Amino acid sequence: MVKTMKKVVIFLILLLTLTGCNNQEYYSKNLFYMDTVINIKIYDNNEEKVNKAFEEIETLYQKYENLTNFYDENSELSKLNNDINTDISDELWQLIKIGVDWYDKSNGLLNINIGNLTKIWHDFRENPQELPDVENIEISKINIENDQITNDKVSIDLGSIAKGYVTELAGNYLEENGLEYYIINAGGNVKTGKSHKGYYNIGIASPINQNETFEIVKGENISVVTSGGYERFYEYEGVLYHHIIDPNTKYPANNMKSVTVIGKNSGVCDALSTVLFLMDVAEGKEFIKDYDVDVIWFTNDNEIIKSDGFRYE
């Protein structure tokens, strides 16, 4: 029996008081880019300035979707994947270099050159009939020398880093333009500015029942990013096959149900959430010693484990 499910899920539920924010007005706008509902909330008294910010942030997300959409044949990334000699923009090149850097940091667990494999699993989630044969799919590192990719062919998928990277850019834009009180909720990726109360309550949705929260994170000027296998998946013979692929096994990772990373930089938290989802908890605790982040693991046994000295309760 095959059971399919495709839906856009907002992992992180913002539990916010929308009035009484130091006499500032509250503005909100919804966007849809990168296969995600993106909600932007800004607290300010200058409506013209806020509306301009909404326009600029939408332009930013739209730009990077056009650059990085793996499944759009007209995107800059797709053109590069089809022809390694294609000239690419500085913006796309920067993301690729970040991806290569994370390959080295994670000992190959985060590999952006995995598109040939993620596409196979994507196609089977869209039209599941039987498990794909992935044993002979080759995965390699992207090699860069003298600011050039030296591989003969690449299949780059930036889904593990692009949304967090762009959300960080969006938050930086707001702060640089004097809009310091904000929340950006890009699916499983939340970035906040200052709060007049000193913190926001950010609820993390349960991977068992996404209408419920299992933890409330309290903080301001933070990013909260969740990776989980319950957003895009299909069920085949009683087993869930989701979209986060382990490059070592070539199958969806099954170490846990979700992992949430809290830190300052949305791009770093996004990449870390993927890396940690591909490790067991013990490995993850050791790995994050090099980063100023806090982590919540939701295990396959429904146990909630927090990193040592968790700071956001």
123 band by pLDDT with thresholds 50, 70 and 90: confident
What is the predicted pLDDT for the residue at 24? 87
**Residues 19-38 pLDDT 10s:** 335 678 999 999 999 989 99
204 and 213 Cβ atoms separated by less than 8 Å: yes
| Maximal C-alpha separation, the chain | 61
What is the number of other CB atoms lying within 10 angstroms of the CB of residue 270? 28
Q: Where are the domains of the chain?
A: 1-313
13 band by pLDDT with thresholds 50, 70 and 90: very low
Which is nearest to 139 in space by CA: 118, 160, 122? Answer: 118
- Under DSSP, is residue 267 helix (H, G, I), strand (E, B) or coil? helix
CATH homologous superfamily for the domain 1-313: ApbE-like domains (3.10.520.10)
Given a cut of 80, whether residue 12 has pLDDT beyond it is: no
- Under DSSP, is residue 186 helix (H, G, I), strand (E, B) or coil? strand
What is the predicted pLDDT for the residue at 3? 33
**Residues 231-243 pLDDT 10s:** 555 655 555 666 7
**Residues 198-235 pLDDT 10s:** 999 999 988 888 778 999 999 999 999 999 865 555 65
Pick 6 or 277 by higher pLDDT.
Answer: 277
**Residues 55-113 pLDDT 10s:** 999 999 999 999 999 999 999 999 999 999 999 999 999 999 999 999 999 999 999 99
pTM greater than the 0.85 cutoff: yes
Measured CA distances, 166 to 65, 91, 131, 202, 247 (Å): 10, 11, 34, 20, 24
Q: Which residues are CB-neighbours of 279 under 8 A, at least 6 positions away?
A: 109, 255, 287
Q: What angle do CA 287, 291, 294 make, to 5 degrees?
A: 90
